[in-house]
Amino acid sequence: MTTPASLTPRPALHTLLRDATPSAFLSGLIAILIGWAGPNVLIYAVAQNAHLSQGTAMSWLWAHAVLCGAGSVYLSLRTRTPILLTWSTPGIAFLLTALPGTPFPQAVGAFLISGVLVLLLGTFRALTGLIARIPPHLAAALNAAILLPFAFKAVTALGAQPVLVGGMMLAFFALRRLAPRWAVAGVLLVGMILSAALGLLHPAPVSFALTRPEVVVPQFTWQAAVNLALPLTLLAFTGQFVPGFAVLKTAGYMPEPAPIIRTCGGLSLGAALLGCHNLTLGAMITNVVIGPDAHPDADKRYTAGVFGGLINVLFGLFAGTFLHLMGLLPAEAIAALAGLALLNAMGSALQAALREAPGSLAAPVVLAVTLSGLSLLGIGAAFWGIMAGLGVHLAERQRSREARA
């Protein structure tokens, strides 16, 4: 697990098939389902705000899913680590308000510039070294802060649909006792059955049709570079790469950051030409594939990342169809599924954050600042949380040295 990413030999096909298990496949599937039910649907809001055509929106989604899926397969095999790539979710939130008023070809030019910046920044040892040196208990605290809102949303969903969500929760805890490796898959099945029984499904005709990507000819302007490219690059690092590597570190995986960042930057260049912004390391969805639910052997959980990547490619090829299918389930069922699927990872992160440095306030500070949703200078709470925690951590170390002197 701790082998540097750039030195790990790729497993042969027979090794991959030997290591794979049904639980690894289901973990990959559920991770992608959660991703598609959450940030992916925001693309419609971005497209609507910026007056983009449906074809452009579907091309954006196709580029994200297919290229992230391919990158997930490559990196999971290359590093023997369960890695799932996704687009920059903070970037989507930023584009909701920043994209309107910018001609889309100019935005695509900014996406390309941002991809080049990520690619270049991945070569700086100081930056990648800083990410690698984040103390494990602070990385765990950041991961816990990312996951806690999903538990909160599941509890809120219980108030809105007590029978549906309550049934899913009872099924989850019963299966955790009887067949823990199948608990999350069982919850998905129970959620579908209860949704149908309660009349909460949203049935509509579904047609399977391939989504066709559209190439966008970029235009480069200083205004778009400053207003879009620079903020997108900053958001990719502070909102995705830092928490993404924290997730991996919490689970005991320590791949070299540089090859992963450079791969994401290179993939982002191809995605940009199809109208998609930065592709980055996933944080939330990666939590689904890094625990024992994915595979009892930590060294074989990379197969869950491979399966997740392949499923994402399939979803991307039929982007419109699968996005429609995800809309069949009520939002409360999706919220419950996400919260329950991430509950084990959240518990492990909280334990690691508070057990490793008893008496320290650094981890609680990371939790508090990150959960606050603080945004300063256009930078999100995840970055400020880890910075505040590092500040407290360094101050406590200095005080400890002075006490021993």
Half-sphere exposure of 337 (CA within 13 A, CB side): 30
* Separate counts of helices (H) and strands (E) for the chain: 20, 2
Angle, vertex CA 188, rays to CA 37 and CA 33, nearest 5: 25
Query: Could you tell me which of 248, 275, 272, 271 has the C-alpha nearest to residue 260?
Result: 248
Lowest-pLDDT choice from 232-236, 310-314, 322-326: 322-326
Average pLDDT for the chain: 83
Residue 72 has pLDDT above 50, yes or no: yes
Higher pLDDT, 317 or 207: 317
Residue 47 has pLDDT above 90, yes or no: no
Pairwise CA distance, residues 130 & 45, whole Å: 35
Cβ–Cβ < 8 Å for 386, 140: no
Q: Give me the mean pLDDT over the 222-242 stretch.
A: 82
Of these ranges, 2-6, 231-235, 259-263, 291-295, the one predicted with the greatest mean pLDDT is: 259-263
Half-sphere exposure of 138 (CA within 13 A, CB side): 25
Q: Give me the mean pLDDT over the 133-145 stretch.
A: 78
Residue 265: what pLDDT? 93
Strands 85-87 and 279-281 turn out to be antiparallel
| Interval 355-370: pLDDT, tens | 766 678 888 888 898 8
Residue 49 has pLDDT above 80, yes or no: no
Higher pLDDT, 118 or 403: 118
Pairwise CA distance, residues 91 & 102, whole Å: 15
Q: Where are the alpha helices (DSSP H) in 161-301?
A: 162-178, 183-197, 222-224, 230-236, 242-250, 257-273
How far are the Cα atoms of 145, 353, 360 from residue 370, in angstroms, in the given order? 6, 14, 17
Higher pLDDT, 371 or 334: 371
Pairwise CA distance, residues 272 & 369, whole Å: 33
Residue listed under structure tokens 């990719």 = 236
Cβ–Cβ < 8 Å for 147, 349: yes
| Interval 203-223: pLDDT, tens | 666 667 888 899 999 999 988
Pairwise CA distance, residues 366 & 389, whole Å: 5
Higher pLDDT, 57 or 146: 57
Residue 216: what pLDDT? 92
pLDDT band at 377 (very low <50, low <70, confident <90, very high): confident
Lowest-pLDDT choice from 75-84, 112-121, 257-266, 393-402: 393-402
Residue 201: what pLDDT? 77
Is the pTM value of this prediction over 0.85? no
Residue 5: what pLDDT? 46
Residue listed under structure tokens 């809001």 = 45
- The H or E element spanning position 119 is helix 104-121
CA dihedral over 257, 263, 264, 265, signed as positive or negative: positive
Cβ–Cβ < 8 Å for 175, 167: no
Cβ–Cβ < 8 Å for 278, 114: yes
Residue 185: what pLDDT? 74
Residue 3 has pLDDT above 60, yes or no: no
Q: Give me the mean pLDDT over the 124-140 stretch.
A: 72
- The H or E element spanning position 75 is helix 54-79
| Interval 152-205: pLDDT, tens | 888 998 888 899 999 999 988 898 888 776 777 788 888 888 988 888 877 666
Pairwise CA distance, residues 292 & 382, whole Å: 26
Pairwise CA distance, residues 355 & 344, whole Å: 16
Cβ–Cβ < 8 Å for 54, 33: no
Residue 12: what pLDDT? 66
Q: What is the residue extent of each domain of the chain? A: 5-359
Pairwise CA distance, residues 164 & 192, whole Å: 9
Please give the DSSP secondary-structure letter assigned to residue 278: -
Residue 2 has pLDDT above 60, yes or no: no
The first and second tokens of residue 65, run together, are 């899913």
Residue 4: what pLDDT? 47
Extended beta strands in 43-177, E state: 85-87
Q: Give me the mean pLDDT over the 327-334 stretch.
A: 78
Q: What is the largest CA-CA distance in the chain?
A: 74
Residue 1 has pLDDT above 60, yes or no: no
Residue 130: what pLDDT? 67
Residue 268: what pLDDT? 96
The first and second tokens of residue 106, run together, are 């100019």
Residue 64 has pLDDT above 50, yes or no: yes
| Interval 266-278: pLDDT, tens | 999 999 999 999 9
Pairwise CA distance, residues 139 & 244, whole Å: 9
